[in-house]
Structure 1
Amino acid sequence: MRKILLTGFAPFGAETTNPSWDAVVMLDDSMLEGTHIISVQLPCEFDVSLAVLEKAIEQHRPEIVLCLGQAGGRADMTVERVAININDARIPDNGGRQPIDTPVAEQGPVGYFSTLPIKALVQALRDKGIPASVSHTAGTYVCNHVFYGLMHMLSRYPQVRAAGFVHVPYSPDQAAAYPGTASMAISTMTEAIRVMITITLRTTQDLRISGGITH
């Protein structure tokens, strides 16, 4: 049976929830387009998160891996284009570690591009009335660490034909503590994930449309 692995993070910092996990867990053990969806929570910790992710890939042998994380302050579903080989933590992770200017992978390349059809995903989400954009930075915290680590490990898992990372906004409950900050309902995020799964399963070549920025 075809499988898709979804991941979201545990809460971190001062937050008590993480919308990336709240959204993906809604799809756990469901079927879409004849494909079994498996949701796994990653700890918000450097290295440990990658160990949990690789164990899940080894166990489930998915065709597609879609990792999600929280980017408080962003207003839309941001489909990440590139992961970079750097850890530069502004705050400690949930294990108390705060690596600064260290590589995700020793001797690894500077970066990896997503193998998701990123522009087709953004277009499909917008067509559904869900705010979305291509993002050109996944940050330098655990989200980028997982994105880079995922792409770096895929040479060992040739059955994975598409993989990448998407950031989600705050949920409304979280944004209530930060007046004026954008948010998105968990149900909307979950629907967005369904759309992205469907498009990824159906797409073999990404759209050739602009997703760039001018600054």
Structure 2
Amino acid sequence: MILLTGFEPFGGANFNPSWAAAQAAATALTDAGQPATAVVLPVEFGAAADALRHELAAGKYGLVLAVGQAGGRTGLSLERVAINVDDARIPDNAGNSPVDQPVVPGGPAAYFSTLPVKACLRALGRAGIPAEVSQSAGTYVCNHVFYALMHAVAAEPGVRAGFIHVPHAPEQAADAGRPSMEVAVMARGLEIIARTSLSTVTDIKLGAGATH
């Protein structure tokens, strides 16, 4: 089974493309014979991780793709590393603003994604979908969920998991001229990431680093 998670709207918005894309990708994967479930998470420190852990305990998932919105990015961002810190620039949807707090007290400083991010990057490029390997998922609720996910599956050999950021949808970016991507393209990208992750045993070597 495949689990995809997205987030509810936050920061005063009324739409979050991560949830729409996760739903569409889960439907497409299931229709193609690869059963998938989509779950929406609250944009709240603590509550989001609790909801994720509840869903992980309820099903036997071999692949987990957590998805969040990162306005300003130009393509899908395959996040490489989750760090054990919450440091909110804006309050979450419950008004919480943790600063310099661990996601998991006593947990490792960081976890790497177990998705084959380079193979996924190549597959997305071949499909004409803009994408990058990102070296930081931030310190807001997206990173909080990413770290909580990797901590939860660390003791589950064989479970692959990671985090993908998506850009704004066109309706969110039209007035400000920000980069955007159609939700259908995001969903197609998530499908490709899921299929590549299921079919790739060892990731490929492909330059996709950053100078800063």
Q: Distance in 1 between matches of 2:206 and 2:32?
A: 26
Residue equivalent to 2:164: 166
TM-score of the superposed pair, with normalisation by structure 1: 0.94
8 Å CA contact 1:120, 1:206 repeated in 2: yes
Deviation at 1:36, TM superposition (A): 0.6
Q: Distance in 1 between matches of 2:24 and 2:33?
A: 17
Give the root-mean-square deviation of aligned CA atoms. 1.3
- Matching residue within 156, 173, 176 for 1:175: 173
Q: Distance in 1 between matches of 2:46 and 2:184?
A: 30
Residue equivalent to 2:211: 214
What is the CA deviation profile of residues 128-151 of structure 1, one whole-angstrom value per residue up to 9, with x for unaligned ones? 000000000000000000001111
8 Å CA contact 1:90, 1:141 repeated in 2: yes
8 Å CA contact 1:44, 1:93 repeated in 2: yes
Q: Helix, strand or coil for the counterpart of 1:35? A: coil
Q: Distance in 2 between matches of 1:9 and 1:202?
A: 27
8 Å CA contact 2:19, 2:40 repeated in 1: yes
Q: Please state if 1:198 is matched with 2:212.
A: no
Residue equivalent to 1:45: 44
Residue equivalent to 1:100: 99
Q: 5+ residue gaps in structure 2?
A: none
Q: Helix, strand or coil for the counterpart of 2:128? A: coil
Residue 206 of structure 1 aligns with an amino acid whose one-letter code is D
Deviation at 1:33, TM superposition (A): 6.1
Change in Cα spacing, 1:9 to 1:61, as seen in structure 2 (3 Å) is same
Q: Distance in 2 between matches of 1:64 and 1:135?
A: 20
Residue equivalent to 2:14: 16
Bigger proportion of residues as strand: 1
Residue 180 of structure 2 aligns with an amino acid whose one-letter code is S
Residue 164 of structure 2 aligns with an amino acid whose one-letter code is V
